[in-house]
Structure 1
Amino acid sequence: MVQRRQRERSLFEVLLPDGHKLWPDWLRKIDTLLEDEAVIEVVAQALEARWPQSRRRGRPGTPAEVVIRMLILKHLFDWSYDDLEREVRANLVYRMFTRIDAGDVPDAKTILKIARALGPEVIAQLHRQVIEVAKRAGVTHGRRFRIDTTVVATNVHYPTDSTLLSDGVRVLTRTLQRASATLGDPSGRIRNRLRSVTRRVLIIGYQARSPKTRDAMVKSYRTLMATTRAVLRDTATMVRRLGHRMRTVAPRVQPILQRAQHQLQKMRPLVQRVVDQTRARLLGGDTHVADKVLSIFEPHTETIRKGKISKPNEFGKLITIQESEHQIITAYDVHAKRPADVTLWTAALDRHQTIFGRAPDLAAGDRGFSSATNERAATERGVRRVVLPRRGPKSPARRAYERQRWFRRGQRWRVGCEGRISVLKRRHRLDRCRYHGDDGMHRWVGFGVIADNLINIAIFAKARSAV
């Protein structure tokens, strides 16, 4: 049964009357902000959607208030789920913050399962409610707008054709052996080719160091692809066997075989795509294969080039961050495919107007967003000052326009967006997503943004109360 709040009176109110002195000021402010009923309602509705009748039936589950506070605490301090469980269990302040008090702390697996039920739409709704809290607190009024993009890397190793083929063979072989053992086959029925594949990957790594050994490297790749195709044939055979045997096996082993069948059906086309793109690169010289697989574990990973000398290629997803005054991130977006920055400007302005009901007085972006069309679109929407430095050669009139005092001040303020991205990557670890899948990427970015917004709202509230 889904609960919204803890119903019992806090034990600390009785035994620890001066417990408020233990709290950091900023955490106390965040605690007050999370009292908002709309924030709790978003999470409660997501939990109720998991099972029919869970609002009225079943044993009491972890309250929605506890869930959201534990997840916020996790991303405030960049903890793992195990760290979260350990820290909350041992710390009185964290017990009070999460409303657990003297009760049992949910274990790491419980919080992980609940977090996965909060999809991208739920996280986006939660973020919108936090922005509403900031608006009611007077932290932001939408007078200013700045935008930038960055890359959040997926948790993958550097992709090469040989290592991707090796990953595919390893996963398929492991699943085939598990399914074969469950069916009662003799131990040697599924051939284990992992040792030969590992040796071939090492040889390819040595041969790739010198152009003189390219012919030998191509030959090694042919051998590796032949081995991978043999594993794919074994996979197709096992999928057919599982389809025939699923109705006759004992009920207790059906879930195991269903998971194995699902895994094989999911991984087989990915590994086949890796074989195809390897053949296209080696034999056809095609290095620009459409929808290239960069990881069989995170297939949504893209190659993104941002022009950085230290990182010419980044592997992950492009995200857009847009801010208003007082460093409040009013909207974020995880893009399914890498768009050009110049195409994101008008949609971001429309989002800003939807959130605040008004156009900003000043809108700023870097050269990637600059175009005459974007400047005109901002002006038509009521933006009085548009700070978009032009790319390439500039006319004398344009140079004079960009030397105006308000334009240069707007540029200096725009640079703060890069600082905000740096804080997100350093404090909330948005440099690398440690959640799995495309939904995990949305959840990782969303909670990082929400945690950062709560800190900035608390800092602003504390500064205003001190005046």
Structure 2
Amino acid sequence: MTRIADPQINFADIEFLIQGIDLDPILKRISDFLDHQPKIMERVRQDLQRGLKKPDTGRTAMTPAQVLRSLILMRVKNWDYRELSERIADGYTLRRFTGFYSQRVPKHDAFHRAFNKLRPQTLQALNDLVLKAAIDLGVEDGKRLRVDTTVTETDIHHPTDNTLLWDVVRVLTRLIGRLEKVLPNRINNFPNRTRSARRRMQEIQRMTARQRHDRQQDKYRQLIGITQQVVHNARGILEKTKDQCGLDLMDDLVIGELRRKIDHYCQLGDRVIYQSWRRVLQGEQVPTDEKIYSIFETHTDLIKRGKVQKPIEFGHKIFLAESARGLITQYRVLEGNPSDHVHVTPSLKRHKETFGFAPAWYSSDRGFFSDENIKACRDVKLVCIPQRGGKRTAPQQALEKSPEFKKGQRFRAGIEGRISVLFRGRGMKRCLAEGRDRFEVLVGAAVLTNNLMTIAHLLNQKQKRLRRAA
């Protein structure tokens, strides 16, 4: 049962409050801000109750405020689930911020289950509500906008054909072993080929350039053959055991889940085998949209941005738009590796929908340049997008050398610092959660936390100015 109302504090909590134990100024301002946003808590409550037949009955769970505040704290401090639970339990100020006070703090897995119920659409809606509240409070005017793209990595190893084939062999063998433990009858005719597959994989990885030219295809044929045998045997086991049941209901549930996973990885194994056969044995250049880079994170994209230190990245491209006040007004997790110039028109349209007018400044790097984009910015007073490629005309050279344009480019550089903060401080550099939805939730939570901390800082500054004026 998800509790709607916050629990009543006891006399011990009142004593701590009387003694003057207070929060960090930023956390206190975030707490006060969230206290006046009932729509945000209602969206979280809807997600927590999603899928429950009787949400008003059953074991008492965390309130929407506790879930959201714990998620924000986790991203503010960039903690993992275990450290989050331990730190909240250890400190009264964090208990007060998250709303647990003197109650028992849930274990790390309870936080994990609660956060997994949040949907990407909910985080997007929360960010929109926070941005609207910032506009109403007068801390955001939307007059200047800077945009950029970055990449958040998925939690995978560097993909090669031999390591993907090895992943298929070891995962299917492990799942068949687990299935055998819960089935009443012993599984026969499934030889363990993990050692032979690992040896072939390691032999391929240790080859020199000359050895690859002479011996690579033979080793790949052997590894592909082993993988095909494992996938075929796994499907045979599924067929032979389709009528077998467990000793009790729990075993039946476990058997059903294991069979689903085995079938899933068999299908991925077929894709990996076909991909390796085409690329290595047939010498084809497999299109990017037909490749698979991980059997665990199948949604992973290959991103090439021309970076010298990291020419290839595996994850998803993220579009970000930031205002002059430091609020991220737009974010999107993109499909594939689209060119940057396609984001200018949609970002301007979204800005007009949010603020009711076009920004006075629009600044980006040269990757966003195109003649169509310059025409689309006709309502923008200062467009700071350097020309990409081709010979610059005299008017273009004069524009890019003007003081206003240079000032706009210095303003654009601020979003690089914001991306660095999201990576280092909010945990957006690499997503350790599984699945596309969890990936988007991580990005949305990092953006939400950034915006709440920025609003808190702006409100504290505003309060200081009012005090000095008084």
Say whether 1:25 aligns with 2:25: yes
Moved more, 346-355 or 89-98: 346-355
1:426-461 per-residue CA deviation (whole Å, 9 max, x = no partner) reads: 111211111111011101111111111111111111
Partner of 1:347: 346
Structure 1 segment 223-372 matched on structure 2, within 5 A: 223-245=222-244, 250-289=248-287, 290-372=289-371
Partner of 2:162: 162
Counterpart-to-counterpart distance in 2, 1:152 and 1:286 = 29
1:125-149 per-residue CA deviation (whole Å, 9 max, x = no partner) reads: 1111221222222221111111100
2:304/2:337 contact within 8 Å kept: no
Counterpart-to-counterpart distance in 1, 2:381 and 2:446 = 32
CA separation of 1:304/1:11 partners in 2, compared to 1, >3 Å: closer, same or farther?
Answer: farther
Counterpart-to-counterpart distance in 2, 1:17 and 1:256 = 48
The secondary structure found in structure 2 opposite 1:139 is: coil
Counterpart-to-counterpart distance in 1, 2:77 and 2:5 = 23
Structure 1 segment 107-122 matched on structure 2, within 5 A: 107-122=107-122
| Percent of matched pairs sharing the same residue | 31
Report deviation, 1:251: 3.2
Report deviation, 1:186: 3.2
In the TM superposition, structure 1's runs of 4+ consecutive aligned residues that sit over 4 Å from their partners are 10-13, 18-21
The AA in structure 2 aligned to 1:347 is: P
Give the one of 364, 386, 397 matched to 1:389: 386
Partner of 2:131: 131
1:364/1:411 contact within 8 Å kept: yes
Partner of 2:468: none
1:434/1:444 contact within 8 Å kept: no
Counterpart-to-counterpart distance in 2, 1:5 and 1:355 = 31
RMSD between aligned alpha carbons?
A: 1.7
The secondary structure found in structure 1 opposite 2:315 is: strand
1:241-265 per-residue CA deviation (whole Å, 9 max, x = no partner) reads: 343335x875342101111111012
Counterpart-to-counterpart distance in 2, 1:432 and 1:306 = 17
Counterpart-to-counterpart distance in 2, 1:115 and 1:11 = 30
The AA in structure 1 aligned to 2:181 is: A
Report deviation, 1:50: 2.5
Report deviation, 1:13: 4.9
The AA in structure 2 aligned to 1:5 is: A
Counterpart-to-counterpart distance in 1, 2:406 and 2:241 = 67
Counterpart-to-counterpart distance in 2, 1:424 and 1:270 = 33
CA separation of 1:386/1:3 partners in 2, compared to 1, >3 Å: closer, same or farther?
Answer: same
Say whether 1:218 aligns with 2:217: yes
Report deviation, 1:124: 0.9
- Structure 2: state its 5+ residue gaps: 466-470
Report deviation, 1:41: 1.0
Report deviation, 1:213: 4.1
Counterpart-to-counterpart distance in 1, 2:167 and 2:177 = 16
1:16-36 per-residue CA deviation (whole Å, 9 max, x = no partner) reads: 234555422111111111212
Counterpart-to-counterpart distance in 1, 2:304 and 2:143 = 32
Give the one of 418, 421, 431 matched to 2:419: 421
The AA in structure 2 aligned to 1:419 is: G
1:84-127 per-residue CA deviation (whole Å, 9 max, x = no partner) reads: 10000000100000110001112111111111111111111111
Counterpart-to-counterpart distance in 1, 2:17 and 2:314 = 51
Counterpart-to-counterpart distance in 2, 1:292 and 1:199 = 25
1:119/1:443 contact within 8 Å kept: yes
1:242/1:257 contact within 8 Å kept: no
The secondary structure found in structure 1 opposite 2:353 is: helix
CA separation of 1:311/1:264 partners in 2, compared to 1, >3 Å: closer, same or farther?
Answer: same
Moved more, 131-140 or 4-13: 4-13
Partner of 2:407: 409
Counterpart-to-counterpart distance in 2, 1:179 and 1:7 = 44
Counterpart-to-counterpart distance in 2, 1:283 and 1:26 = 59
Report deviation, 1:62: 1.1
The secondary structure found in structure 2 opposite 1:273 is: helix
CA separation of 1:4/1:378 partners in 2, compared to 1, >3 Å: closer, same or farther?
Answer: farther
The secondary structure found in structure 1 opposite 2:325 is: helix
The secondary structure found in structure 1 opposite 2:308 is: coil
Counterpart-to-counterpart distance in 2, 1:335 and 1:194 = 37
CA separation of 1:224/1:322 partners in 2, compared to 1, >3 Å: closer, same or farther?
Answer: same
The AA in structure 1 aligned to 2:52 is: W
CA separation of 1:283/1:19 partners in 2, compared to 1, >3 Å: closer, same or farther?
Answer: farther
1:246-299 per-residue CA deviation (whole Å, 9 max, x = no partner) reads: 5x8753421011111110121111111111111111122223334211111111
Counterpart-to-counterpart distance in 1, 2:271 and 2:349 = 39
CA separation of 1:453/1:19 partners in 2, compared to 1, >3 Å: closer, same or farther?
Answer: farther
Partner of 1:195: 195
2:21/2:93 contact within 8 Å kept: no
1:330-378 per-residue CA deviation (whole Å, 9 max, x = no partner) reads: 1110112221111111111111112222211111111111111011112
Residues matched between the structures, number: 462
The AA in structure 1 aligned to 2:258 is: A
The AA in structure 1 aligned to 2:302 is: T
CA separation of 1:367/1:242 partners in 2, compared to 1, >3 Å: closer, same or farther?
Answer: farther
CA separation of 1:458/1:19 partners in 2, compared to 1, >3 Å: closer, same or farther?
Answer: farther
The AA in structure 1 aligned to 2:137 is: A
Counterpart-to-counterpart distance in 1, 2:187 and 2:243 = 21
Structure-1-length-normalised TM-score: 0.95
